[in-house]
Chains A and B, each alone.
Chain A
Amino acid sequence: MKKPPRLLSEVEFGTFLVYSPRGKSETSKKSRKNRDNVKQDKPGFLKTAVDRLKDVLSSAGLEEFLGPQVTLVPAPRSAPLVGKDALWPGLRICEELVKCGLGKEILPCLSRTKKVAKSAFAAPGERAGVQEHLESMEVERLLVAPVAITVVDDFVTKGATLLAAATLVKDAFPSSAVRVFALVRTMGLIPDVERTVEPCKGRIWLEGSEVRREP
């Protein structure tokens, strides 16, 4: 078995929606409805979200993350897929992004070989660490490296999945610029969210063995 690569120390990340896991306000409840719509791939929702994202892409500074020059790599789910026709939210988001002109092509080169605990629902001490994520995924290599790659996931909690995924993609395509994008950012540390749409860019980085995310 191949030894996993050394973790990237940092990766740029972009995001669009926010959700509150337990907030009581109407906006927090709406944010959870959005979460459910993403998780269940409710027909029409991803297209709506991506259309809105396209409108604010430039003002949010996300043009390097998504656009006709960027190859999109869907982040794997937290467990291996049951079959080729199983729901894969990362892939569905990529499909809508490409349809909307926010991606050049989809490269489904990452897969999960071993289940890890779902970040959004695991207690802080029980979340899979970034090393565990790294060791539970594999990447398929290609001869030709894309110029720019963005790894796309449905949710980001701390960012361990995305940092591990970016590490593997960068290892497979060293000459490519690698960024990450999550459609929804989990806001677990504040009681309520004030809005559901909050496009921004930031960074995910490694501090010791812990992953940090800003914002």
Chain B
Amino acid sequence: MDFIEYSVENLLGPLNEVEKKNAPARLYVAGHPEILDSGARVSIVGSRKASKRGLEDAWTLSEQLASRGVVIVSGLAEGIDTSAHKAAIEAKGRTIAVLGTPLDEAFPVKNRGLQTLIMQKHLCISQFPSGAPSQRGNFPMRNRTMALISDATIIVEAGEKSGSLHQGWEALRLGRPLFLLETIIKDSGLTWPLEMERYGAQVVSLKALDLVFEFLPERTGEEASPFAL
């Protein structure tokens, strides 16, 4: 499998100063980079140890968004991420996996087949070059990169220490829409959803996904120059 190395701005376009702060210098890509410009990019993320309801919600959400032209971004982890990728593929949509490992490694190993499929038919991105050591900080870094790649982020289910919270805070910092699935708010044991809501996160229901579209940019593949008003 061929991997292509890009500078972050070559792949994603020019970044503003806020975006540059946590952006990686380089990105390694396998698959079809044109997917990046084929529709609005929405991350669907959440717990590795997800509940049955969480997995179903992630599936429904991904399926509905993908069938309306949204590119589904997730982290290829167990649980919510896997459900989001698989539902997008099943819906004949497009998906991007943003890895916390180099492209030639798979984590979890049981997702190797899914990773290969995404590399062949969709798009896999990593900020870690081949041979880079696995470190504890890689996954939070990956989550911030995923926020950068995505026009919006939806957290389906996440505990107090979930890595998805790094992505949520980064999305808010970048000024990108952050949505929390309403079931999270109903889980009264959690403190982070109320804190994120205070800083601008929106609660969304699976029955009212039009709200998400109100916040998405119109990405058509024919990007107008920022120099023409």
How far apart are B115's CB and chain A's nearest CB, in angstroms?
30
Decide if A30 touches B224 in the complex (CB within 8 Å): yes
B14 interface neighbour in A39, A44, A49, A81, Cβ under 8 Å: A44
Residues of A within 8 A of B1 (CB): none
- Quick one: given A30-B224, A44-B227, are A87 and B218 in contact (CB under 8 Å)? no
- Let me know if B139 is at the binding interface, CB within 8 A: no
Residues of B within 8 A of A1 (CB): none
- Quick one: given A30-B224, A44-B226, A89-B175, are A79 and B198 in contact (CB under 8 Å)? yes
How far apart are A56's CB and chain B's nearest CB, in angstroms?
11
- Let me know if B92 is at the binding interface, CB within 8 A: no
How far apart are A113's CB and chain B's nearest CB, in angstroms?
10
What is the size category of the interface that chain B forms with chain A? 20 to 34
Give Cα distance in the complex from A104 to B16, angstroms: 24
- Let me know if B21 is at the binding interface, CB within 8 A: yes
**Interface contact tally, CB-CB below 8 A:** 76
B199 interface neighbour in A32, A89, A115, Cβ under 8 Å: A115
- Let me know if B18 is at the binding interface, CB within 8 A: yes
Residues of A within 8 A of B214 (CB): 121
Q: Mark A13-53, 1 if CB is under 8 A from B, else 0.
A: 00001000000000001101110110111111100110010
Give Cα distance in the complex from A29 to B222, angstroms: 12
Decide if A115 touches B21 in the complex (CB within 8 Å): no
Decide if B217 touches A36 in the complex (CB within 8 Å): yes
Chain B residue at minimal CB-CB distance from A88: B175
B226 interface neighbour in A37, A83, A197, Cβ under 8 Å: A37
CB within 8 Å of A: which B172-229 residues: 172-175, 197-200, 211, 214-215, 217-218, 224, 226-229
Chain A residue at minimal CB-CB distance from B217: A36
Decide if B229 touches A40 in the complex (CB within 8 Å): no
Decide if A82 touches B173 in the complex (CB within 8 Å): yes
Give Cα distance in the complex from A81 to B21, angstroms: 16
Chain A residue at minimal CB-CB distance from B174: A87
Residues of B within 8 A of A34 (CB): 229
- Quick one: given A37-B226, A83-B173, A121-B215, are A78 and B200 in contact (CB under 8 Å)? yes
Decide if B229 touches A80 in the complex (CB within 8 Å): no
Decide if A86 touches B15 in the complex (CB within 8 Å): no
Residues of A within 8 A of B172 (CB): 82, 86
A80 interface neighbour in B15, B16, B199, B211, Cβ under 8 Å: B199
Give Cα distance in the complex from A32 to B173, angstroms: 22
Give Cα distance in the complex from A43 to B175, angstroms: 15
Decide if B18 touches A87 in the complex (CB within 8 Å): yes
Residues of B within 8 A of A197 (CB): 229
Give Cα distance in the complex from A78 to B175, angstroms: 11
Decide if B18 touches A41 in the complex (CB within 8 Å): yes
How far apart are A60's CB and chain B's nearest CB, in angstroms?
14
Decide if A45 touches B169 in the complex (CB within 8 Å): no
Decide if A41 touches B16 in the complex (CB within 8 Å): yes
Chain A residue at minimal CB-CB distance from B196: A82
Decide if A82 touches B224 in the complex (CB within 8 Å): no
Decide if A45 touches B226 in the complex (CB within 8 Å): yes
- Let me know if A207 is at the binding interface, CB within 8 A: no
Give Cα distance in the complex from A40 to B15, angstroms: 9
- Let me know if A196 is at the binding interface, CB within 8 A: yes
Which residues of B are interface residues toward A (Cβ below 8 A)? 14-16, 18, 21, 169, 172-175, 197-200, 211, 214-215, 217-218, 224, 226-229
14 A-B contact pairs sorted by A residue (CB < 8 Å): A17-B229, A29-B218, A30-B224, A41-B175, A42-B14, A44-B226, A44-B227, A48-B227, A77-B175, A86-B18, A87-B18, A89-B175, A115-B198, A121-B215
3 smallest CB-CB distances across A and B, nearest first, come from: A79-B200, A87-B175, A45-B226
Since A39-B217, A41-B18 are in contact, a sample of 18 more A-B pairs with Cβ atoms closer than 8 Å, ordered by chain A residue number, is A29-B218, A32-B218, A34-B229, A40-B16, A42-B14, A42-B226, A43-B226, A48-B228, A48-B229, A77-B175, A78-B200, A79-B199, A80-B199, A81-B199, A82-B172, A82-B199, A86-B172, A89-B175
